[in-house]
Amino acid sequence: MKALIVDDNDIARTTLAHLAKQIPNLIIEKEYSNAIEAYNHLQSNPVDLIFLDIEMPEMTGIELTKNLSGKETIIIFTTSNKEYALEAFELNIADYILKPVMPARFLQAVSKVQSIIDSRKENVEVTKDEFLFVRDSNITRRLKLDDIFYAEAMGDYVKFYTQEKMFAIHGKMKTAEERLPKDDFIRVHRSYIVSVGKIDTLQDGGIMINGKFIPVADAYRKALNTRMNVF
């Protein structure tokens, strides 16, 4: 797994590089203190992952992420500021780590990225019955629609979450919405489709499913409330 570190703080770059050395399959290809330089590097040298600061001069981390839209590069934001969290996750990043970055938190984020990369090798076909057929190399496995908690958009991929595993499938959210049965699933956000039967609680601004908070956009709130018989 090849990665870049992009941060205008020398100490932050050194810390991340040190943590990365503890993970055998993680290679830091380059470090940059400037997002524009990182962007130029990526035009001819794609990587799997970027550890990306947000507040940087000339081009911010969020601006760089938007400029990389449509590419398969996975982003982990590393920042000392909480206020960008909502905007960051709207961009479908993999994780958001607050500084100072702790080893356990770093490992957790990298493990999540590895799961995404591994699951990209799998293809999915939605049938007219109650299953997804997931193809991994030469093995085809049947996945019950009832096992899916929610789907999340991430660039050119859709991530399907179950109790035990996440599958990142190449495709668009619109296609997933069309193929998932409307009797069981509902769109609640431009980035999320949820299983109605898996919703635990409704809260201000979102819902909880299996311990995960999922935002509900205003455009979808009325339909969700009607579906859930909320008065």
Tokens of 189: 């956000």
Residue 139, pLDDT score? 55
φ, ψ dihedrals at 41, nearest 5°: -60, -40
**Six token digits for residue 56:** 């940087």
Q: Which of 104, 102, 123, 101 is nearest to 112 (CA)?
A: 104
pLDDT at 178: 82
The reported pLDDT for the residue numbered 155 is 77
Residue 27, SS3 per DSSP: strand
For residues 38 and 50, is the Cβ–Cβ distance under 8 A? yes
pLDDT of residue 185: 92
- pLDDT attached to residue 72: 81
Mean pLDDT by 10 residues, the chain (231 residues): 96 96 94 96 93 94 89 90 82 88 94 80 55 57 83 84 81 82 90 93 90 92 82 56
pLDDT at 134: 56
Is residue 62 within 8 A of residue 91, CB to CB? The reply is yes
Q: What's the pTM value of the predicted model, to 2 decimals?
A: 0.57
138 CB-near residues (< 8 Å, 6+ apart): none
pLDDT at 182: 86
H or E element: which one contains 230? none
Cβ–Cβ < 8 Å for 148, 166 = no
